[in-house]
Structure 1
Amino acid sequence: MNVREKIARRAALELSDGEVVNLGFGIPIEVPNYLKEGIFVSLEAENGCLMSGPTPYYGEADSDNGNAGGLAITLTSGAAIFDLADSFGIIRGGHVDTAILGSFEVDQEGNIANWAMNAAGGNLAPGMGGAMDLVTGARKIVVTMQHTDKKGNSKILKRCHLALTGIGVVNVIITERAVFKVQDGPLLLIEKDPEYTVEDIIACTEADIEVSPDLVDYRMSGINA
């Protein structure tokens, strides 16, 4: 199992039956493939779709149906296609229960920075897209990302260095090593990969950490939860 699948499987456990959910680019897009049996959510794509389904198998994609990242999607029974104005009316109107987003950085204050100029090899990276609206319109924000960058530096910081997409909006942070809840003060460590000790997690995380008295091993949909 690769890192992306592991994180997506854990993120799937954050969703409850009946929710309206928006998924960001990257890891979040894989989450619908790992929903627990009996959990039905209405996926909302910011480019104008409600009730999309899992990623289609190779050769079964319809080129007319895609998400905000331009990737093929399936449509479930009762799905609706609509324009961008209606889509952002749903988002800004507070009708999205949970948004799962990727990020370059997140910090212990619940701030998120999910875009940066010159982030991709000296080229201008795409802007923050609909994330600016999602972090203020959705009721719950879940961030999914790798714990460290390619140089081994923590991406979970005391304070973000990049321009912020949202201030104090993140509720849950999921990496391949640990799961944190954002609270007043230090991040609350609620799950960790059993291959890492608490000391390991503290060592690879810049943000201040409080260990939950109910700390458990890392859970994944379809694996151990």
Structure 2
Amino acid sequence: MQKVAVLSPRQAADLIADDDVVTVSSSSALGCPDAVLRGIGERFAETSAPRNLTTVHPIAAGDMYGVKGIDHLAHPGLLGRVIVGSLPSGPSGATPPAIWRMVEREEVAAYNFPSGVLFQMHRAAAAHQPGVLTPVGLRTFVDPRLQGGRMNAATPADLVEVTEVADEQYLFFRALAPQVAVVRATTADEYGNLTFEDEGSPLGALDQAYAAKNNGGIVIAQVKRLAQGRTLPAQSVRVPGILVDAVVLAPEQTQTTATVFDPAIAGQVRRPVDSLPPLPFSVEKVVARRGALELSRGETVNLGFGVSALVPHVLVEEGEGTAVSWVLEQGAVGGVPLLDFAFGCAQSPDAIMQSADQFTLLQGGGFGHSLLSFLEIGPSGDVNVHHLPGRRHVTAGVGGFADITTGAPAIVFLGSFTAGRRRITVTEDGALDIVEDGPHTKLVRQVAGVTFSGALSRERGQRVLYITERCVLELRDEGLTVIELAPGVDIERHVLARSEVPLRVADDLTEMDRRLFLPGPVGLDLPELPRHGRLRAVLAR
């Protein structure tokens, strides 16, 4: 085995040629090889090279502000095409990140594909298979009969098509064969073996390295430190040195956007669940509490960003912090998923899987519930979570949403009923008081983009709930149906009149549990998840 080359970020950039496909491992700032990306941007500023790159970012292409990640590459001439799970969204009301402006101006072709599918497109390329056949994305904006995942008019429809096998429809995504993979780890030894001991997840680094190497390409690894050759424990090596060509040392790399290093995120220590700060009482907390009522003790549950991310912290406050095993698309299993810029990581996880492997569980529905957020809901129960209303072209991104909702047995969407400036409070006796409602309803005649097909979900037999601060809706064969109403809410004035969607009202309409609207603990008593039938039979003998 040859010793690996140790390069500066600027030297690593010289390994990239015009027209290369470059795959980059990151999830926001988690695992982001930011120093290498910055080096590529610096080389382009100096030399106007490399040009016309295609960059691939399976989950998220950098932190939300555009400070880290793809914005280093967001220069006309440097980028010709981007293929992403999501783009940095930018702070509300501020100038969008540079990559957004490029997409809006049609200066770059841009595709937004599901994260799990993107990882599988790498695996297909590594095994020299033609592509990925999957139900993920059917009847959503990823489907070529709608948008084909294209984010602007400059993007050709050439990476996904509809096909049929055994009378069933699938989407076919072509394999992605990169010339360069840029990944990040914690430690490299002199032979390029990589360990991820300080990382929140190894993400898809191995699959991206395989895809590049098996197609005659090169692998660049950004790491925090260099170790003597063959001193890393073999069981700890996640990417073997036989795949790695060059190492870039970046001792300053941060664990997440907001965290320099937290050993509990990396699974090196376990902190008590009650060490987490309590959630302040809010209307969003009320929504999260109602979502928690859908869960069972012992259940495996997937979690998305937004209001839904509060649910684990509600369970902690209720003394049920270890009742549910959370699975995040980034790879964490168990523990308590973290909030804000650390989302995607968990405090004290039981395991940290490769994100590419975690999607095998998620696409196949190997969990009980998925708790997700929404931007808009359409008449047939369609959900938009990827396309920011008011934006002409650009989307924040589908991420793993489509992978997860394809196979989930039960889906709970959590969010507010209206958008915009609003003042909604709770009275002392636990009634909702809508003092000033948001000017924009989220239940709209037509969603800006279809991330989730309500009609297809009904065909699959999934149970779907939409939980808001004022009511709970269920997707039924006859349409969106109000099944619970918050105390203090007038169904005509606050629900039916504030929806562009015709809503049905259940004959057995009930009041949402008033305890949810009071500041103190709710006293959640989660039911036990029944064991597998075969196991029950064995234990009963």
Encode CA deviations 1:194-216: one digit per residue, 9 max, x unaligned. Answer: 21112122111222222223222
| Contact 2:378/2:446, CA 8 A, preserved across alignment | yes
Q: Distance in 2 between matches of 1:16 and 1:34?
A: 14
Encode CA deviations 1:31-59: one digit per residue, 9 max, x unaligned. Answer: 01223556811100100011122659xxx
Encode CA deviations 1:123-176: one digit per residue, 9 max, x unaligned. Answer: 94421100010110211111111101215222123x432111121237000111
Letter in 2 for 1:186: G
Answering whether residue 333 of structure 2 is matched by residue 88 of structure 1, we say no
Q: Distance in 2 between matches of 1:15 and 1:119?
A: 35
Answering whether residue 506 of structure 2 is matched by residue 212 of structure 1, we say yes
| Contact 1:47/1:67, CA 8 A, preserved across alignment | no
Q: Distance in 1 between matches of 2:472 and 2:313?
A: 20
Picking from 270, 276, 301, the partner of 1:21 is 301
Letter in 2 for 1:41: V
Letter in 2 for 1:112: V
SS at match of 2:361: helix
- Counterparts in 2 of 1:108 and 1:90: CA distance versus 1, 3 Å: same
1:166 alignment counterpart:
452
Letter in 2 for 1:52: G
Matches within 5 A, 1:55-66: 55=338
Picking from 133, 149, 152, the partner of 2:439 is 152
2:331 alignment counterpart:
48
TM-score by length of 1: 0.82
Encode CA deviations 1:82-121: one digit per residue, 9 max, x unaligned. Answer: 111111011012202111111111124221110115767x
Matches within 5 A, 1:111-150: 111-116=382-387, 124-150=394-420
Q: How many residues in Structure 1 have an aligned counterpart in Structure 2?
A: 210
The answer to which structure has the higher helix fraction is 2
| Contact 1:115/1:126, CA 8 A, preserved across alignment | yes
Q: What is the aligned-residue RMSD (CA, Å)?
A: 2.6
Any unmatched runs of 5+ in structure 2?
1-280, 421-437, 458-462, 525-541
2:477 alignment counterpart:
184
Q: Distance in 2 between matches of 1:217 and 1:37?
A: 25
How far has the Cα of 1:16 moved from its partner?
Answer: 1.5
Answering whether residue 522 of structure 2 is matched by residue 223 of structure 1, we say yes
SS at match of 1:34: helix
SS at match of 1:22: strand
SS at match of 1:180: strand
| Contact 1:24/1:101, CA 8 A, preserved across alignment | yes
Percent identity between matched residues is 31
1:59 alignment counterpart:
none
Letter in 1 for 2:354: D
Picking from 197, 203, 224, the partner of 2:497 is 203
Q: Distance in 1 between matches of 2:402 and 2:290?
A: 24
Answering whether residue 369 of structure 2 is matched by residue 98 of structure 1, we say yes
2:310 alignment counterpart:
30
Q: Distance in 2 between matches of 1:179 and 1:106?
A: 13
- Counterparts in 2 of 1:187 and 1:84: CA distance versus 1, 3 Å: same
- Counterparts in 2 of 1:174 and 1:132: CA distance versus 1, 3 Å: same
TM-score by length of 2: 0.36
Q: Distance in 2 between matches of 1:152 and 1:223?
A: 31
| Contact 1:174/1:180, CA 8 A, preserved across alignment | yes
Encode CA deviations 1:64-84: one digit per residue, 9 max, x unaligned. Answer: xx542xxx53225xx111111
Q: Distance in 2 between matches of 1:118 and 1:10?
A: 26
Answering whether residue 285 of structure 2 is matched by residue 5 of structure 1, we say yes
| Contact 2:381/2:480, CA 8 A, preserved across alignment | no
| Contact 2:382/2:447, CA 8 A, preserved across alignment | no
SS at match of 1:182: strand
- Between Structure 1 and Structure 2, whose CA radius of gyration is higher? 2
After superposing the two structures, state which structure 1 stretch, 179-188 or 81-90, moved more: 179-188
